[in-house]
């Protein structure tokens, strides 16, 4: 049986992601301001909230959004960054597929196993509705190439 073509996705910056990150950090800042903490503890906590805000906005808008992704039903992915560099890898089972949020956790080829796997956050406004649906189907029902043969061997 022939494998279907890989999905070619060009995600856009996400206003939903920016709003979620901004509101979560604003809520954390208000909560931190309401706590009776000394200034010695308050400033490092505020710095952590600021770092989370900057990194979250970077992942939703700026250079953290990949320019192009190719996702296959064989759980292979190729990610092209905005600077033109491409990396191929395998989509891990740690990925999450939901209606309003999808995360793609993947292991680039040649990356040591002790390093944390990168994740790509995909919100519904980053892709066209049909592309987002196809991505969710590919992540939910896709299997590695050897998985079908292994299942048939177990059944026999």
10 in any annotated domain = no
Asked if 75 and 137 sit in the same domain, the reply is: yes
Q: Which helix (H) or strand (E) holds 80?
A: strand 76-80
Contact (CB, 8 A) for 74 and 144: yes
Asked if 97 and 114 sit in the same domain, the reply is: yes
Q: In this model, does residue 152 exceed pLDDT 80?
A: no
46 in any annotated domain = yes
Task: In whole angstroms, give the CA distance from residue 75 to residue 27.
Answer: 37
Residue 62's CB is within 10 A of a number of other CB atoms, namely: 11
Tokens coding 18: 């920016």
Asked if 54 and 81 sit in the same domain, the reply is: no
Q: In this model, does residue 75 exceed pLDDT 70?
A: yes
Asked if 75 and 116 sit in the same domain, the reply is: yes
- Which backbone phi and psi does 4 adopt, to 5 degrees? -70, 160
Asked if 46 and 100 sit in the same domain, the reply is: no
Mean pLDDT calculated for residue range 119-141: 93
Render 25-46 in DSSP notation, one character per residue: HHHHHHHHHHS---HHHHHHHH
2 in any annotated domain = no
For 86-116, write each residue's pLDDT tens digit. Answer: 999 999 999 999 999 999 999 999 999 899 9
Task: In whole angstroms, give the CA distance from residue 61 to residue 93.
Answer: 26
121 in any annotated domain = yes
7 in any annotated domain = no
Q: In this model, does residue 36 exceed pLDDT 80?
A: yes
52: containing domain: 15-60
Asked if 86 and 146 sit in the same domain, the reply is: yes
Asked if 140 and 94 sit in the same domain, the reply is: yes
**Residue finishing a domain among 43, 60, 77:** 60
22 in any annotated domain = yes
Q: In this model, does residue 84 exceed pLDDT 70?
A: yes
Task: In whole angstroms, give the CA distance from residue 139 to residue 93.
Answer: 9
Domain count, the chain: 2
Asked if 128 and 107 sit in the same domain, the reply is: yes
**Residue finishing a domain among 6, 34, 60:** 60
Contact (CB, 8 A) for 67 and 86: no
Find where tokens 């649906």 sit. Answer: 133
Q: Does the model's pTM come out above 0.85?
A: no
Mean pLDDT calculated for residue range 10-29: 94
Q: Three-class SS of residue 150? A: helix
């Amino acid at each position: 049986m022939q494998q279907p073509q890989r999905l070619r996705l060009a995600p856009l910056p996400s206003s939903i992601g920016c709003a979620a990150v901004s509101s979560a950090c604003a809520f954390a800042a208000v909560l931190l301001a309401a706590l009776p903490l000394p200034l010695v503890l308050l400033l490092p906590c505020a710095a952590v909230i600021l770092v989370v805000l900057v990194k979250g906005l970077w992942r939703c808008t700026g250079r953290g959004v990949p320019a192009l992704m190719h996702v296959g039903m064989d759980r292979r992915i190729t990610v092209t960054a905005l600077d033109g560099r491409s990396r191929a890898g395998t989509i891990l089972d740690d990925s999450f597929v939901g209606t309003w949020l999808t995360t793609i956790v993947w292991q680039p080829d040649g990356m040591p196993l002790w390093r944390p796997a990168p994740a790509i956050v995909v919100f519904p406004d980053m892709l066209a509705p049909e592309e987002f649906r196809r991505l969710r189907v590919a992540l939910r029902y896709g299997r590695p190439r050897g998985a079908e043969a292994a299942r048939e061997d177990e059944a026999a």
